[in-house]
Structure 1
Amino acid sequence: MYLKDIRFSIWADFIERDFLDNEFKELIEKNIVNGATSNPAIFKNAILNSSAYKEQLKKLSDKTPKEKYEALAIYDIKKAADILEPLYKKNDDGFVSIEVDPHFANDTEKTIKEAKKLWNEIDRKNLMIKVPATDEGCEAIKELVKDGININATLIFDPKYAQKCLDAIEEGLKNSKENPNIVLSIFVSRFDRKLDKILEEKGIEKGKVGILNAAKIYNIIQKRALPNVRALFASTGVKGDDYPPYYYISELIAPNSINTAPIETIKSFVKYGKKDVKLPIMEEEIDNFFENLKNSGIDMQKVYDELLKDGLVAFKDAFDEIMKELE
Structure 2
Amino acid sequence: MYIDEIRFSLWLDFLEREFILKDFQKVIEQYKITGATSNPAIFKEAILKSPAYQEQLQTLQDKDPKGKYEALAIKDIQMAADVLKPLYEKGDDGFVSIEVDPRLAHDAQGTIKEAKRLYDQIGRDNVMIKIPVTPAGCEAIEELVASGIHVNATLIFSPYQARECLDAMERGSRKNPDGYKVLSVFVSRFDRKLDPILQSKDLPTGKVGIMNAAKIYNMITKRDIPKTRTLFASTGVKGSAYPAHYYISNLVAPDSVNTAPLHTIEAFAEDGDPKPKLPIQQEEIDQFFTMLKAHEIDMKQVYHDLLQEGLKAFEEAFEAILQELK
- Does residue 256 of the first structure (1) align with residue 255 of the second (2)? yes
1-structure distance, mates of 2:30, 2:87 = 13
- Offset at residue 225 of structure 1 (A): 0.4
1-structure distance, mates of 2:284, 2:27 = 36
- Offset at residue 167 of structure 1 (A): 0.2
- Offset at residue 156 of structure 1 (A): 0.2
1-structure distance, mates of 2:19, 2:83 = 12
Letter in 1 for 2:306: L
C-alpha RMSD over aligned residues: 0.7
Alignment of 1:231-250 (within 5 A): 231-250=230-249
- Offset at residue 31 of structure 1 (A): 4.8
What do residues 266-308 of structure 1 show as CA deviations (whole Å, max 9, x unaligned)? 1011011111110000000000000000010010000000000
The residue aligned with 2:108 is 108
- Offset at residue 2 of structure 1 (A): 0.5
Which segments of 5 or more consecutive residues in structure 1 lack a partner in the other structure? Answer: none
- Offset at residue 121 of structure 1 (A): 0.5
- Offset at residue 142 of structure 1 (A): 0.5
The residue aligned with 1:71 is 71
Q: How many residues align?
A: 326
The residue aligned with 1:206 is 205
1-structure distance, mates of 2:23, 2:32 = 11
Letter in 2 for 1:98: I
1-structure distance, mates of 2:59, 2:172 = 40
Alignment of 1:295-306 (within 5 A): 295-306=294-305
Letter in 1 for 2:116: K
2-structure distance, mates of 1:268, 1:73 = 28
2-structure distance, mates of 1:246, 1:204 = 22
Letter in 1 for 2:217: Y
Letter in 2 for 1:104: L
2-structure distance, mates of 1:136, 1:247 = 33
What do residues 81-120 of structure 1 show as CA deviations (whole Å, max 9, x unaligned)? 0000000000000000000000000000000000000111
Letter in 2 for 1:213: N
Alignment of 1:8-47 (within 5 A): 8-47=8-47
Secondary structure of the residue that 2:33 maps to in structure 1?
A: coil
The residue aligned with 1:3 is 3
The residue aligned with 2:218 is 219
Letter in 2 for 1:133: V
2-structure distance, mates of 1:12, 1:18 = 15
Letter in 1 for 2:98: I
TM-score of the superposed pair, with normalisation by structure 2: 0.99
- Offset at residue 24 of structure 1 (A): 1.3
Letter in 1 for 2:258: N
Secondary structure of the residue that 1:19 maps to in structure 2?
A: helix
Runs of 4+ in 1 over 4 A off after TM superposition: none
- Does residue 150 of the first structure (1) align with residue 150 of the second (2)? yes
Q: Determine if contact 2:156/2:183 at 8 Å carries over to the other structure.
A: yes
Letter in 2 for 1:130: K
Secondary structure of the residue that 1:151 maps to in structure 2?
A: strand
The residue aligned with 2:266 is 267
Q: Determine if contact 2:31/2:266 at 8 Å carries over to the other structure.
A: no
The residue aligned with 2:80 is 80
Secondary structure of the residue that 1:21 maps to in structure 2?
A: helix
What do residues 165-215 of structure 1 show as CA deviations (whole Å, max 9, x unaligned)? 000000011122x51000000000000000000000111100000000000
